[in-house]
């Protein structure tokens, strides 16, 4: 089975991986607020934020190039707004917009790459995120792998029968058919899962997640990152 790379990273071991997910979530929130409220001309502050993220990436033993490439995926979305701003004659603001997007993307990616999804969901649950939303993400994440594996098998099967001369039109038709089949199969699977839940006594309420312990070092991390973010935001 081909797992997504970030999922594998999240199961690594480093000081950052060992921290409580709630501490990392809180720290991310503080960091993002600081970045988003930084004035466009404060380039020194952006350099400092980048420095903080770089140290965290090194501490988490994550592959830098691959992380930067993935964080850059946000740039095409930000680029539209940055271009409009640049055309309207505000180059500094356009640059800041792109920088803010990239740094925010990288910070969020850092959280996901150092926190297994199970811990992240438990943290969101204990921080008061509505339970149905947590469960939707939990199920989506659980079955995303199963469905994507099915999709990969179907793609291989269709390529085996298409031959090299298949035109774009026939490939498109095959893909559209595959999407339809995937949808129908996912629907059936959802039904199967629900039956399996009922068979084990499900009555509409999920058992509570076991709460994790919040240690002193988790608190220290949260305070330190928030303090650094505020210090950069205020002084640079």
Contact pattern for other proteins over residues 3 through 42, marking x by CB under 8 A: x---------------------------------------
Contact between 203 and other proteins per CB under 8 A:
yes
Q: Counting beta carbons within 10 angstroms of the beta carbon of residue 189, is it exposed (0 to 12), middle (13 to 18) or buried (19 or more)?
A: middle
Could you tell me how many residues of this chain bind other proteins (CB under 8 A)? 29
Q: Are 226 and 26 in contact (CB under 8 A)?
A: yes
| Among 54, 77, 139, 183, interactor with other proteins by CB under 8 A | 139
Q: Which residues of 134-171 are buried (b: 16+ CB within 10 A; e: fewer)?
A: beeebeeeeeeeeeeebbeebeeebeeeeeeeeeeeee
Max CA pair span of the chain:
64
CB of 99 within 8 A of CB of 55? no
Residue 184 is encoded by which pair of tokens? 């129908």
Find the part of the chain contacting other proteins (CB under 8 A) among 27-35, 71-79, 107-115, 136-144. Answer: 136-144
Confirm or reject binding of residue 195 to other proteins (CB under 8 A). Answer: yes
Taking the complex as a whole, the smallest distance from the CB of residue 146 to other proteins amounts, in Å, to 5
Note the Cα 125 to chain centre separation in Å. 17
* Min separation Cβ 168 and other proteins, Å: 34
Does residue 146 interact with other proteins by CB under 8 A?
Answer: yes
Q: Is 121 in the site for other proteins (CB under 8 A)?
A: yes
Where does this chain bind other proteins (CB under 8 A)? 1, 3, 116-118, 121, 138-139, 141-143, 145-146, 189, 192-193, 195-203, 207-210
């Amino acid at each position: 089975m081909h797992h997504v790379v970030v999922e594998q990273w999240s199961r690594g071991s480093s000081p950052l991986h060992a921290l409580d997910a709630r501490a990392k979530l809180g720290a991310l929130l503080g960091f993002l607020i600081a970045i988003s409220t930084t004035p466009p001309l404060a380039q020194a502050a952006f350099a400092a934020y980048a420095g903080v993220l770089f140290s965290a990436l090194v501490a988490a033993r994550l592959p830098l190039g691959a992380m930067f490439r993935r964080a850059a995926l946000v740039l095409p979305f930000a680029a539209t707004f940055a271009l409009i701003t640049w055309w309207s004659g505000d180059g500094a603001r356009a640059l800041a917009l792109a920088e803010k997007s990239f740094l925010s993307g990288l910070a969020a990616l850092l959280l996901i790459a150092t926190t297994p999804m199970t811990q992240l969901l438990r943290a969101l649950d204990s921080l008061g995120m509505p339970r149905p939303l947590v469960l939707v993400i939990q199920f989506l994440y659980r079955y995303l792998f199963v469905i994507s594996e099915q999709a990969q098998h179907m793609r291989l099967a269709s390529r085996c029968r298409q031959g090299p001369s298949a035109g774009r039109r026939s490939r498109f038709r095959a893909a559209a058919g595959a999407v339809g089949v995937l949808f129908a199969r996912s629907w059936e699977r959802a039904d199967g899962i629900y039956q399996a839940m009922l068979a084990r006594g499900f009555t509409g309420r999920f058992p509570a997640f076991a709460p994790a312990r919040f240690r002193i070092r988790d608190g220290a991390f949260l305070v330190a990152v928030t303090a650094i973010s505020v210090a950069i935001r205020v002084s640079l």
